[in-house]
Amino acid sequence: MAVLTRTGLCVLALVLTAACRTGPEQWGPFRGRVVDAETGMAIAGAHVMVLWERDIPSPAHWTQTFYDAQEGMTDTDGYFEIPRETRFFTALVSRPRFAVFAPGYLPQAEEVTPPDGRLYVDPTVLTMRPLKTREDRCRHRPGAPGVPPNELTNFVEAVQRYTTELKCWELREAQP
């Protein structure tokens, strides 16, 4: 009984404390720069997405469902910015998850300044490693971001177009 009471209180607390997450690390604006790991040059046209999910409490284990997503693209200097948007009813919304897609590149490392700064809030540089062979590109081809229809349409279409053009089905994937 005590466990149930405590669990109920926890859930109530989560709802009541939804407004706790209002900082820029939660809702942005998110900024960063995407560069080539080998040359240090900016990668223009890289697609950046930020995605939030909402936890669904369950007696067994919590699960998640899609809450919201935004996308942006790097400019010629490799910079991107995803503006902050006001949201309500944010109970149990997770902190943001990021994905970056640049055709022919693989994310390698993120560097925040200062080192203990907030990712994509404080100055952040994402370095991406160029994938030089078709086999390598197929092996590391991006997956779907897992969003409902009409969300992140530019990101999703770019990934699907890239994957289609790669024609990885022509290569027998390596059997581990």
Q: Could you say whether residue 7 binds another protein (CB under 8 A)?
A: yes
The residue (of 41 and 62) whose beta carbon lies closer to another protein is 62
Half-sphere exposure of 120 (CA within 13 A, CB side): 26
Interacting positions 43-102 with another protein (CB under 8 A): 53, 55-65, 92, 94-100
The per-residue b/e assignment along 86-121, b for 16 or more CB within 10 angstroms, e otherwise, is eeeebebbeebebbbbbbbbbbeeeebeeeeeebbb
Q: How far is the CB of 14 from another protein (least distance, A)?
A: 6
- Give kind and range of the element (H or E) at residue 139: helix 134-139
By CB under 8 A, name the binding residues for another protein: 6-7, 9-10, 13-14, 16-17, 20-21, 53, 55-65, 92, 94-100, 106-110, 119, 126, 140, 143-144, 146, 148-150, 156, 160, 163-164, 166-169, 172-176
